[in-house]
Amino acid sequence: MASTVNLRLRRSAAQLHALAGVEREIRAQDSHHRRKYLREFNQAFRSYDSLLDSGQIQSALHSADVVLIGDYHALPAAQRHAASLIEQRALGGDRPVVLGVETIYARDQHILDEWWRREIDENELRQRIRFDLDWGYDWAPFYNLLVTARDHGEAVYGLDCMPREDLRKIGARDRHAAAKIGEIRLRHLEAAIFVLFGESHLAPSHLPREVHRFMPGAKILTVLQNIDALYWRAAGEPAHKVEAVRVNDDVLCVFNATPLEKYESYRLFLDQWSRCDDGPDFAPTIYNLIDSLVRFLEINRYSPHNSTQPKFLVDMLPEVYGGAGDALVRRLLSRAGIDEAEREAMLGSVEDRGSAYFPQVNAFYVREFKMIHAAEDATRFLHQACQGLPQRLNGNPASSGNAPRRSAVDEFYARVIEHAVAYFGSRVLYPSRPVPGDPSSLSRAACEALAKASIRMDRNKSDALARELGYRIGSRIYDAYLEGKVAPSGLRRLSLVHLNEPGVARKVCATVIAKLRSFSRPLSR
């Protein structure tokens, strides 16, 4: 079993590479991190007492009168998690639930009340509270939170006041919000009060202290989300996924996103605000994911030869299009000779996953940034680049037209290896990704049987089978990496093997499975 330090290092290495670039960009555009108020928050939560499971989290929530939930405004997962906590608490049935939010000024309570009574619709609410002008983050996850509170709760209240942009007045905003929470308590004596407020407000000396002043006898629980120092510390735990930790009796921290996911989300908003146009530029985000994997795998982006390194990887970086580029992406795919049915299937995958990498045109199409899929697709690009982009149809293929064609079995094994590498890459950037199936049952004979069976399947079923098998292999490779049995350089060599040559993919897959099985054998005495 790998030590705590080694587990933490291996789970965190690629993410830390990626974070460095994101944080540099954020610091260049946002200097608030130097403010005393934010430093106090960052220094407040550095360690935890114990791990928590879902039952213990629910027990803590049920015993609280006021639950202060930390919100990382740029991260939709933060608002979605708040909505889930409210719904779960309301389903307990022992107390009504009330929600208070920072997003809406207390001055606009009458507008919120009109919406609550269904006198105005979603669009009018959004316009009248000046959501886009005064807040500027994603509307959909916040509106879902409001709807959840209306469906399951007793009331919703706006808690904030001006000025938001002046950190010198931030203490006054805390005192104002605490006073409003005190008023809510008087109106709803039996209710459990849930409050969603910016995470930096939840340092013990900030909003929690002010709430205690207004409600000295109340049981107040602070629920943090994805605090960096606690996340990196939890990365050393033996558990595959740490759901939450208890910081102390009054504070817990849940994990539903990685630090990289948080800061990439914020960087996208900074970019969108600076350009003042209709949507974010996803290219820096995708390039940063690729670059972090390149560093992790010790790849030289400027290598002039293709042997132990891909040749001039820097010249193969993909084009990246956002949601506004739909028509252009369709034209690119059409010019690459992809028929309409396949084009629609490819774009349909973007609808489901938020983004996709299309090797036929060496391009990313991103409608919504979702770390788990973006990380996998960034790895797919890197794998294709190491192969010389053999699937790119609108350029020179890696192999000549006179080269022998691969068999259907070879095609299947090549897809398995690509899925394995892609899954591994997604795990090094998103360690909490769910584990697929049971990787312990892998064997060469089983893979041979699946490969032969795939020949009789249609393309969709064959692809699904290759993906399932590849994910299981990738999961086992990741486990071996965490155990210190596989080095990043070994993964680089796997990516550089030319799978387009007949028989190679089959041999590589057999070799990988044999090596993985040897790792799991007990040592002879």
pLDDT digits (tens, 9 = 90+) for 473-510: 999 999 999 999 988 888 888 888 888 888 898 999 99
Question: What pLDDT score was predicted for residue 35?
Answer: 78
Question: Alpha-carbon Rg of the chain, whole angstroms?
Answer: 25
Question: What pLDDT score was predicted for residue 523?
Answer: 38
468, 437 in Cβ contact below 8 A? yes
Res. 59 pLDDT band, cuts 50 70 90: very high
The residues of the chain that CATH labels 3.40.50.11550 are 35-256
For tokens 């997962």, the residue is 77
Percent of the chain past pLDDT 90, that is, above it, reads: 54
- The answer, yes or no, to whether residue 225 has pLDDT greater than 90, is yes
Q: In what order do the strands lie in the sheet with 363-366?
A: 319-321, 363-366, 355-358
Q: Looking at per-residue confidence, does 78 or 18 come out higher?
A: 78
What is the pLDDT averaged over residues 409-421? 92
DSSP state of 392: -
DSSP β-bridge partners for residue 197: 70
Mean of the per-residue pLDDT values for the chain? 87
What is the pLDDT averaged over residues 444-470? 88
- The answer, yes or no, to whether residue 400 has pLDDT greater than 50, is no
- The answer, yes or no, to whether residue 439 has pLDDT greater than 70, is no
Res. 396 pLDDT band, cuts 50 70 90: very low
Question: What pLDDT score was predicted for residue 518?
Answer: 86
Tokens of 467: 């993906």
The domain 35-256 having CATH identifier 3.90.1170.50: the answer here is no
Question: What pLDDT score was predicted for residue 490?
Answer: 85
Res. 394 pLDDT band, cuts 50 70 90: very low
Question: What pLDDT score was predicted for residue 525?
Answer: 31
What is the pLDDT averaged over residues 52-64? 95
Question: What pLDDT score was predicted for residue 30?
Answer: 58
358, 334 in Cβ contact below 8 A? no
Query: 12-16, 125-129, 330-334: which range is least confident on average?
Result: 12-16
What is the pLDDT averaged over residues 438-461? 82
HSE (side-chain half, CA atoms, 13 Å) at 214: 19
Angle at 353 between CA 352 and CA 355, to 5 degrees: 120
Question: What pLDDT score was predicted for residue 28?
Answer: 67
What is the pLDDT averaged over residues 32-61? 89
| pTM (two decimals) | 0.82
For tokens 């991190």, the residue is 33
pLDDT digits (tens, 9 = 90+) for 119-133: 999 999 999 898 988
Strands in 273-379 per DSSP E:
319-321, 355-358, 363-366
Question: What pLDDT score was predicted for residue 318?
Answer: 87
CA distances from 280 to 127, 165, 329, 361 (A): 21, 22, 17, 22
Most confident of the following: 191-205, 400-414, 483-497: 191-205
- The answer, yes or no, to whether residue 164 has pLDDT greater than 90, is no
- The answer, yes or no, to whether residue 431 has pLDDT greater than 80, is yes
159, 63 in Cβ contact below 8 A? no
- Which of 296, 320, 356 shows the shortest CA–CA distance to 490? 296
